């Protein structure tokens, strides 16, 4: 049973030629607009795909627009060699997956505390978290680098090993430590998302769990987390993707360890012996494609849950 | 030894403290201390010595150097800030528009949404440096005008100029059209936030305005838009912060630190930049939050 207004709508649209034509016109305009935007978004991707399989002969052939005439896998091979693709891929994946899982845990815990387990000063602390989003990462770049370069946790390291400090540059530790303390890439945003979501879950559910004898921890992982799946999916995707694409922190903490985004930046010099500039940019674009290919494949699987979850993420509160 | 057991609320508080312990650790070690240190660095000159680094206090000279002897900094700062001021309104208008479009029911909506969020996945600093428009081979596709990107809007420019708009606005609009890819690719998260907001507007409001005989246009301006104002604020803050991650001043700050090893100079640069951004955020938030409408 629909509401009377809905019926009025239907009648109005079905029998009023003016309304009908307006509706169709709007539909047409909307379709054109959406198709246009989608084209703009997809165009670079398609272009890169088309370029990746071209041979050198096709570059100066004006009749080749989309489909390469001389199909070849050479570009991909060269790009893979120039970037040491598989070792870089493994490193990138390890860093991204590790930080994602740890960040998820640390951010969700902190956000739950901010949403439900209020204590003295938690408001101030949350304000600080928001402040971390606002401060540009460049501001604390150098001290952060030095912190990890001469890492010494309140003098603990000195006590245990007798050395004055540990050098953590070129290991994965900086990423893991940052993630574990919820100070990683855009973690303030994740805490904010989670907090908004947890606030939207009815208090009664929690209270009934307490009455039934569950402790705070148990309530958190048996009641809150299963309810927060949309937020979890959103944060998972964001943190994985942003860490994957990040070149800033990676180039700050890693110089010898190779990951995809830094490899891609150095690819130009790796291709230095290639005289033809157009071909060089072709190879670079192939490299970009190689960087994003795993993400696109991941997105194909996740997008359904992602798009659905967005609607209920409670980003809005 | 008999102790009174903790009440539930006390217990909850202690658990709360326990849950944020890692965060507090991180805030202190990886945020607050570096922040203070960075400020100290900006007032001094640093050189690496054996087993650490030495800091010599120099006073405010780093800051004054930025605007007196540094050739690049003022220019890049103004450039970054103007880019921010130019882009953020366009991004917000576009993402609201796109979110309203994607919120309607039509065939293939799921696909359209999936495509619109692709830029969130693909946006990255490394990729932004290798923008596809720099691809020379692409010039054969865009009708041979390889200079200045893929899309040019001469027709629109002519039309707007002839319709008597001020040249400033014409440049603004056509500039936005020319940079459409950049704008779309940097408004993924904003579209997300607006979409989530649109979903949470109560349908009763729309129904009521329908019964009162409002047209679609009126409904947008009188119902949807006011309901979206808090999110416009959120998105504006997010867009301003997001423009940090890819602009020319960042590369300058990084180069100063790690190529020419002027750590103090670099720290001063980032602090001035931070101050400017904070000022912009403060001013714009103050202006917008006066107009924000909270439906409670």
Assess A143–B contact: CB distance below 8 Å, yes or no: yes
- Angle between the N-to-C axes of helices B248-258 and B73-103, in degrees from 0 to 180, rounded to the nearest 10: 130
Assess B34–A contact: CB distance below 8 Å, yes or no: yes
pLDDT reported for residue B141: 41
Q: Name which of A113, A265, A310 is nearest B20 (Cβ-Cβ).
A: A113
Q: How many CB pairs below 8 A link A and B? A: 275
Assess A277–B contact: CB distance below 8 Å, yes or no: yes
Q: Which residue of A has its CA nearest to B129?
A: A265
Of A205-209, A249-253, B274-278, the one with minimum mean pLDDT is: A249-253
pLDDT reported for residue A317: 45
Of A209-213, B43-47, B204-208, the one with minimum mean pLDDT is: B43-47
Assess A37–B contact: CB distance below 8 Å, yes or no: yes
Of A1-10, A140-149, B4-13, B234-243, the one with minimum mean pLDDT is: A1-10
Assess A34–B contact: CB distance below 8 Å, yes or no: yes
Confidence of residue B291 (pLDDT cuts 50, 70, 90): confident
Judging contacts by C-beta atoms under 8 Å, the chain B residues touching residue A314 are 196
User: DSSP labels for A88-119?
Assistant: HHHHHHHHHHHHHHHHHHHHHHHHHHHHT---
Identify the helix (H) or strand (E) that includes residue B47: strand B44-49
- Tell me: the pLDDT tens digits for B172-186? 887 777 778 778 888
- Tell me: the pLDDT tens digits for B68-90? 877 888 888 888 888 888 889 99
Mutate to test the interface with B, among A39, A52, A92, A140 (most CBs of B within 10 A): A140
Residue contact A143–B53, C-beta within 8 A: no
Identify the helix (H) or strand (E) that includes residue B55: strand B52-57
Residue contact B37–A216, C-beta within 8 A: no
The separation between CA A202 and the C-alpha centre of its own chain, rounded to angstroms, equals 29
- In A86-115, the residues whose Cβ lies within 8 Å of chain B are 106, 109-110, 112-114
- In B58-97, the residues whose Cβ lies within 8 Å of chain A are none
- Please, what is the average pLDDT of chain A? 82
Judging contacts by C-beta atoms under 8 Å, the chain A residues touching residue B219 are none
Q: How far apart are CA A146 and CA B29, in angstroms?
A: 12
Structure tokens at B60: 């405010």
| Alpha carbon of B31: minimum distance to chain A alpha carbons (Å) | 7
Mutate to test the interface with B, among A54, A111, A142 (most CBs of B within 10 A): A142
| Alpha carbon of B238: minimum distance to chain A alpha carbons (Å) | 9
| Alpha carbon of A216: minimum distance to chain B alpha carbons (Å) | 7
Confidence of residue A99 (pLDDT cuts 50, 70, 90): very high
Judging contacts by C-beta atoms under 8 Å, the chain A residues touching residue B122 are 45, 245, 292, 295-296
> Does residue B99 surpass a pLDDT of 50?
yes
User: DSSP labels for A225-260?
Assistant: HHHTHHHHHHHHHHHHHHHHH--HHHHHH-SSS--H
pLDDT reported for residue A105: 93
Assess A123–B contact: CB distance below 8 Å, yes or no: no
User: DSSP labels for B160-198?
Assistant: HHHTT--HHHHHHHHHHHHTHHHHHHT-HHHHHHHHHHH
Identify the helix (H) or strand (E) that includes residue B53: strand B52-57
| Alpha carbon of A236: minimum distance to chain B alpha carbons (Å) | 12
- In A59-78, the residues whose Cβ lies within 8 Å of chain B are 59, 62, 65
Mean pLDDT of A91-115: 93
Q: How far apart are CA B94 and CA B186, in angstroms?
A: 10
Residue contact A135–B231, C-beta within 8 A: no
> Does residue B105 surpass a pLDDT of 90?
no
Q: Name which of B24, B184, B199 is nearest A41 (Cβ-Cβ).
A: B184
Assess A230–B contact: CB distance below 8 Å, yes or no: no
Structure tokens at A243: 């860490």
Structure tokens at A6: 């809905």
Judging contacts by C-beta atoms under 8 Å, the chain A residues touching residue B216 are 26
- In B169-188, the residues whose Cβ lies within 8 Å of chain A are 180-181, 184-185
Residue of B196, B201, B192, B195 lying closest to B222 (CA atoms):
B201
Assess A135–B contact: CB distance below 8 Å, yes or no: yes
SS3 B49: strand
Assess A315–B contact: CB distance below 8 Å, yes or no: yes
pLDDT reported for residue B150: 45
Q: How far apart are CA A54 and CA A300, in angstroms?
A: 25
Structure tokens at B205: 């409001």
Residue of B174, B158, B113 lying closest to A299 (CA atoms):
B113
- Please, what is the average pLDDT of chain B? 80
Mean pLDDT of B5-24: 86
pLDDT reported for residue A147: 83
Q: Which residue of B has its CA nearest to A145?
A: B34
> Does residue A181 surpass a pLDDT of 70?
yes
Residue contact B135–A51, C-beta within 8 A: yes
Of A57-61, B121-125, B137-141, the one with minimum mean pLDDT is: B137-141
Q: Please tell me the pTM assigned to this model.
A: 0.83
Mean pLDDT of B59-65: 80
Assess B29–A contact: CB distance below 8 Å, yes or no: yes
Query: Which position has the higher pLDDT, A155 or B248?
Result: B248
Q: Name which of B52, B101, B281 is nearest A33 (Cβ-Cβ).
A: B101
Assess A140–B contact: CB distance below 8 Å, yes or no: yes
Q: How far apart are CA B191 and CA B97, in angstroms?
A: 9
């Amino acid at each position: 049973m629909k509401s009377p207004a809905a019926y009025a709508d239907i009648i109005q649209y079905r029998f009023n030629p003016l309304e009908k034509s307006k509706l169709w016109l709007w539909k047409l305009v909307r379709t054109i607009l959406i198709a246009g935007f989608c084209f703009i978004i997809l165009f670079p991707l398609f272009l890169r795909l088309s370029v990746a399989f071209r041979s050198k002969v096709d570059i100066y052939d004006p009749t080749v627009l989309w489909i390469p005439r001389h199909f070849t896998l050479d570009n991909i091979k060269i790009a893979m060699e120039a970037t040491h693709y598989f070792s870089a891929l493994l490193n990138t994946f390890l860093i991204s997956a590790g930080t994602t899982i740890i960040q998820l845990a640390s951010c969700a815990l902190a956000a739950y505390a901010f949403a439900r387990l209020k204590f003295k000063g938690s408001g101030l602390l949350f304000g600080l978290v928001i402040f971390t989003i606002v401060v540009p990462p460049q501001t604390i770049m150098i001290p952060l680098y030095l912190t990890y370069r001469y890492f010494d946790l309140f003098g603990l390291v000195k006590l245990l090993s007798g050395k004055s400090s540990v050098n953590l540059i070129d290991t994965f530790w900086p990423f893991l430590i940052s993630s574990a303390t919820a100070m990683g890439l855009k973690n303030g945003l994740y805490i904010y998302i989670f907090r908004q979501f947890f606030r939207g879950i009815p208090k009664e559910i929690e209270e009934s769990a307490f009455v039934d004898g569950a402790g705070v921890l148990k309530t958190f992982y048996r009641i809150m987390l299963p309810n927060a799946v949309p937020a979890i999916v959103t944060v998972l995707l964001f943190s994985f993707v942003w860490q994957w694409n990040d070149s800033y922190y990676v180039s700050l903490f890693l110089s010898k360890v190779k990951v995809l985004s830094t490899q891609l930046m150095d690819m130009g010099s790796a291709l230095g012996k290639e005289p033809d500039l157009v071909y060089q940019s072709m190879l670079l674009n192939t490299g970009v494609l190689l960087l994003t290919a795993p993400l696109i494949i991941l997105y194909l699987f996740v997008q359904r849950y992602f798009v659905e979850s967005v609607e209920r993420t409670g980003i809005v509160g | 030894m008999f102790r009174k057991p903790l009440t539930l609320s006390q217990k909850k508080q202690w658990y709360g403290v326990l849950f944020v312990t890692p965060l507090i650790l991180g805030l202190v070690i990886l945020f607050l201390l570096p922040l203070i240190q960075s400020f100290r660095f900006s007032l001094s000159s640093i050189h690496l010595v054996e087993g650490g680094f030495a800091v010599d206090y120099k006073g405010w000279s780093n800051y004054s150097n930025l605007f007196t002897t540094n050739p690049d900094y003022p220019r890049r700062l103004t450039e970054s800030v103007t880019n921010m001021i130019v882009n953020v309104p366009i991004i917000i208008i576009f993402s609201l528009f796109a979110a309203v479009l994607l919120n309607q029911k039509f065939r293939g909506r799921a696909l359209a949404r999936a495509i619109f969020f692709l830029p969130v996945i693909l946006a990255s600093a490394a990729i932004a440096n290798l923008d596809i428009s720099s691809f020379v081979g692409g010039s054969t596709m865009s009708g041979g005008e390889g200079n200045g990107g893929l899309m040019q809007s001469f027709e629109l420019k002519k039309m707007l100029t002839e319709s008597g708009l001020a040249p400033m606005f014409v440049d603004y609009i056509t500039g936005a059209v020319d940079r459409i890819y950049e704008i779309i690719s940097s408004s993924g998260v904003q579209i997300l936030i607006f979409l989530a907001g649109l979903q949470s507007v109560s349908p009763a409001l729309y129904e009521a305005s329908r019964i009162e005989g409002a047209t679609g246009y009126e409904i947008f301006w009188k119902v949807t838009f006011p309901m979206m104002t808090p999110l416009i604020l959120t998105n504006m803050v997010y867009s301003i912060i997001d423009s940090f991650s890819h602009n020319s001043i960042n590369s300058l700050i990084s180069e100063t630190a790690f190529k020419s090893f002027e750590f103090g100079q670099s720290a001063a640069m980032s602090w001035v930049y931070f101050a400017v951004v904070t000022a912009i955020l403060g001013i714009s938030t103050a202006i917008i939050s006066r107009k924000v409408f909270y439906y409670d």
